[in-house]
Structure 1
Amino acid sequence: MQYGFSMPTRGPLANARDLAALARRGEELGFTILAVPDHLLVPHSIDSPYPYSQEGDWPGAAGGECLEQLTLMTWLAATTTSMRLLSSIMVVPHRRPVHTAKALATLDHLSGGRTILGVGTGWLRAEFEAIGTEPFDERGAVTDEYLRIFRELWTNPAPAFDGAYERFREIHFAPKPAQPGGIPVWVGGESPRALRRTVELGDGWYPIGANPKHPLNSLDRYAAHLDRLRALSEKAGRDPATITLAYWAPWFSATHPLDLGDVDRHLLTGTDAQLAEDIAGLAALGVSELVLDFRRGSLAESLEAMQRFAEEVRPQVAE
């Protein structure tokens, strides 16, 4: 199992000193992924329900801060030497695809192939409207097309595309990403459409366990979704073993409690021994990447939470 953690893009830790301290200490402790969230702005009024809480309330609505994702990922690449940089997740329709593909390819080229593109379609209509994207209600189709554009630009020596939203031909696109075949794409989401997108366009599946409509907050529930993913893969003629399995547990934090009220104990909660048992269970199902959240109220508390996991929980999994 490889372990990563979320980086703050808002709040008291979202400053150069604390971000550097978190990233460098994580690298020293053997963590391998830095996960960076994505919002370009925070509307004053939010009517869209947040999909990862029962009430639909978004914790980020309380403040207007949000560091830009790609800029922070690039800064973190220069701050670290080996950790991979994961967009967690990128709202794909927010940015024009050719520019985004270029920014990601540049990041991967300069970091020596350390980029992972975690993707989703987004949920906040007012943010889409303020940015001036393609229509919010078409975001699924837009995401699929943009992902195809990324792949075309990253892999084809003579890229060309004629789609519903974007067209180009007779262009150079260089340098390509450092990683052969382009930057790996991890598809976020738990819905049937997210599973299909993973099979059709992704290199990995990267769900959150706390979606009340599609909960993955127990090993049995995760396994049932995984069975569906593998069935879709086989139907499409794809080897399920080619899909990286990652899992994001953003509630692994004092500020993000998980309480869907429908299981006796939610996955990745409880004692150190129970956490280790859950991680071992995910690994047995094929999960190879686990992203947690050590953000606390202060840098000292965050570093302590990170170190405690590394010293008290992780060794129990390896035993």
Structure 2
Amino acid sequence: MRYAISIPQHPADGAFAPDELRRYLGRAEELGFESAWMTEQVLGAAPGLSPLETLAFAAACNERLRVGCAVFVTPLHNPVHLAKRIGTVDQLSRGRLEVGVGIGGRARMFSAFDVGVEDNLVRRFNEGLQVMKALWTQPEVDIDGEFWQLDGARMEPKPFQKPYPPLWFGGSKPAALRRAVRQGDGFFGAGSSTTARFAEQVPVVRAALAESDRDAADFRIAKRVYIVVDDDVDRAQRRMTEALIAQYGDFGKTLLPVAACGSPDTCAEELRAVAAAGAEMILINPLFDSADQMERITAEVLPQVS
């Protein structure tokens, strides 16, 4: 089992502390975490740092830890700009970037991103990914698409990793899971989905891998887990619920069942279930007291899981 850790990314206005993040990432590297991850939220009531800029900072704080975002809602991005920014951070990190991509839902302020509500998000997603992959791998790109047109376009330098950084796909429906196998390098189960739901998704992914001509060993499966270790179960559940509401709004009121809350033994049991469901990497995601939680989870929980 491999473990990743979330990057604290929700400082209040003016409260970001660079030295604290440096120490946190250095300690994550010392503790043996494989990678550190963020989410993307451009608009919303909760404060949130932009991922690529923060990941560039994070990569400069250490030499081994891989850094990633799960996920970029790519239909809301111009793929040319996103390809350039991703390639740049991959160069700056010397090939330690991981990239999650997803279509996202329709409950978004599309007008803020110059995306029409009538646009087919799946087609926009697929074409945007085609544009990015072409710019990362081809010396000159010609695309006459539905949404983007490129004529003799060149982009240098290419990403440090060849052909490009690993692409993790989000999503939950069977079509999205099969798309991950066709176009990506891994599937990332959402933190807002239960372990039971994840256990239903993994067989779909594995069936698609079996039907494809690719080596299943080259495709990874991961799950984000919101977690808090606290011997006071009521306090753990109360604080987790508050944190989920802060992140997801009213939807967060229903999300406590997705989280691992309580004693080290209880949290370890939850993580063992995630591993049994098929996760090859678990993203440990405290939503508060991140540094303290990382220490407790590493010392008291993870040794019981693997």
Tell me which interval the TM-score lies in, with the shorter structure as reference length: 0.7 to 0.9
1:187 partnered with 2:165? no
Partner of 1:151: 133
Where do residues 90-129 of structure 1 align in structure 2 (5 Å cutoff)? 90-123=72-105, 125-129=107-111
Equivalent in 205, 208, 231 of residue 190 of structure 2:
208
Q: Residue by residue, what CA displacement relative to the aligned partner does 1:40-82 show, whole Å, maximum 9, x if unpaired? A: 223xxxxxxxxxxxxxxxxxx3x4x332221111111112221
Read off the aligned partner of 2:284 and give its amino acid letter: L
Read off the aligned partner of 2:89 and give its amino acid letter: L
Describe the SS at the equivalent of 2:109.
helix
Shift of 1:309: 0.8
Partner of 1:54: none
Describe the SS at the equivalent of 2:163.
coil
1:178 partnered with 2:160? yes
Describe the SS at the equivalent of 1:229.
helix
> Which has the larger share of strand?
2
Asked if 1 retains the 8 angstrom alpha-carbon contact of 2:6 and 2:283, the reply is yes
What TM-score do the two structures reach when normalised by structure 2? Answer: 0.81
Equivalent in 20, 23, 33 of residue 25 of structure 2:
23
Read off the aligned partner of 1:307 and give its amino acid letter: E
Asked if 1 retains the 8 angstrom alpha-carbon contact of 2:70 and 2:188, the reply is no
- Provide closer, same or farther for how the CA distance between residues 136 and 15 of structure 1 changes in structure 2, counting only shifts above 3 A: farther
Read off the aligned partner of 2:84 and give its amino acid letter: K
Shift of 1:33: 1.7
Read off the aligned partner of 1:3 and give its amino acid letter: Y
> Which has the larger share of helix?
2
Where do residues 221-240 of structure 1 align in structure 2 (5 Å cutoff)? 221-240=197-216
Asked if 1 retains the 8 angstrom alpha-carbon contact of 2:39 and 2:72, the reply is yes
Q: Residue by residue, what CA displacement relative to the aligned partner does 1:155-207 show, whole Å, maximum 9, x if unpaired? A: 22333323211121323322211212211110012122321220221110001
The alignment of Structure 1 onto Structure 2 pairs a total of residues equal to: 286
Read off the aligned partner of 1:72 and give its amino acid letter: T
Partner of 2:8: 8
Alpha-carbon distance in structure 2 between the residues aligned to 1:271 and 1:93:
40
Read off the aligned partner of 2:33 and give its amino acid letter: F
Describe the SS at the equivalent of 2:153.
coil
Describe the SS at the equivalent of 1:228.
helix
Gaps of 5+ in 1: 43-60
Shift of 1:269: 4.3
Q: Residue by residue, what CA displacement relative to the aligned partner does 1:196-231 show, whole Å, maximum 9, x if unpaired? A: 2202211100011533xxxx423xx43332111222
Structure 1 range deviating more: 304-313 or 123-132: 123-132
Q: Residue by residue, what CA displacement relative to the aligned partner does 1:122-177 show, whole Å, maximum 9, x if unpaired? A: 23644321122354652222112111222212222333323211121323322211
1:243 partnered with 2:219? yes
Q: Residue by residue, what CA displacement relative to the aligned partner does 1:284-310 show, whole Å, maximum 9, x if unpaired? A: 5542221122231xxxx3211110111
Shift of 1:282: 4.0
Root mean square deviation of aligned Cα: 2.8
1:217 partnered with 2:199? no
Describe the SS at the equivalent of 1:205.
strand
1:256 partnered with 2:234? no
Read off the aligned partner of 2:76 and give its amino acid letter: H
Asked if 2 retains the 8 angstrom alpha-carbon contact of 1:210 and 1:260, the reply is no
Describe the SS at the equivalent of 2:187.
strand
Alpha-carbon distance in structure 1 between the residues aligned to 2:82 and 2:179:
19
Read off the aligned partner of 1:120 and give its amino acid letter: G
Asked if 2 retains the 8 angstrom alpha-carbon contact of 1:250 and 1:256, the reply is no
- Provide closer, same or farther for how the CA distance between residues 14 and 36 of structure 1 changes in structure 2, counting only shifts above 3 A: farther
1:311 partnered with 2:299? yes
Read off the aligned partner of 1:244 and give its amino acid letter: R
Partner of 2:249: none
Alpha-carbon distance in structure 1 between the residues aligned to 2:27 and 2:118:
39
Read off the aligned partner of 1:128 and give its amino acid letter: F
